[in-house]
């Protein structure tokens, strides 16, 4: 199964720690729409911001459960929050596992690329879901 050219609308709540950045925890809900504007999936998840020792920038450990009409997918991985070189972010790739319905037992990849942040609680991204046997 391959879903591409999805518009991801992510609604976030940031739970601040006393120091900036590191330790913040984010809860979110999302809707994914196909190129015709049809809702194809919703998800709920959370992430924790931490200092990436490799780059010196901030990263997030992120996990979510994606509900599609014919099953559920779980994805968990690390996402760069900052680009220390100041260049545009590449596509973020997160491993995915099918947990129910037609996706049960399948593995794949969930991708997204940040497009815009219209306000402090909303992020828009381009997304794909790819699952195989």
User: Rounded CA gap, 39 and 89, in Å?
Assistant: 26
102 token code pair: 């037609």
- The domain over range 2-132 is classified in CATH as 3.40.50.300: no
Average pLDDT value for residue range 75-80: 91
CA distances from 115 to 16, 60, 89 (A): 24, 18, 10
Look at residue 11 and tell me whether its pLDDT is greater than 70.
yes
pLDDT at 56: 77
Q: Choose between 47 and 54: higher pLDDT.
A: 47
Considering the chain, what is the average pLDDT of its residues? 88
pLDDT at 49: 85
Average pLDDT value for residue range 12-37: 84
Mean pLDDT lowest among 35-49, 84-98, 105-119? 84-98
20 token code pair: 């900036």
């Amino acid at each position: 199964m391959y879903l591409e050219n999805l518009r991801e609308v992510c609604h976030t709540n940031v739970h601040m720690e006393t120091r900036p950045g590191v330790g913040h925890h984010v809860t979110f809900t999302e809707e994914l729409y196909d190129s015709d504007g049809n809702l194809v999936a919703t998800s709920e998840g959370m992430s924790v911001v931490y200092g990436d020792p490799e780059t010196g920038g901030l990263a997030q450990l992120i996990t979510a459960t994606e509900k599609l009409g014919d099953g559920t997918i779980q994805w968990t991985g690390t996402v760069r929050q900052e680009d220390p070189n100041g260049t545009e972010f590449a596509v973020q790739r997160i491993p995915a596992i099918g947990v129910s319905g037609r996706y049960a037992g399948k593995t794949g990849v969930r991708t997204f690329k940040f497009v815009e942040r219209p306000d402090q609680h909303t992020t828009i991204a381009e997304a794909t879901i790819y699952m195989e046997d």
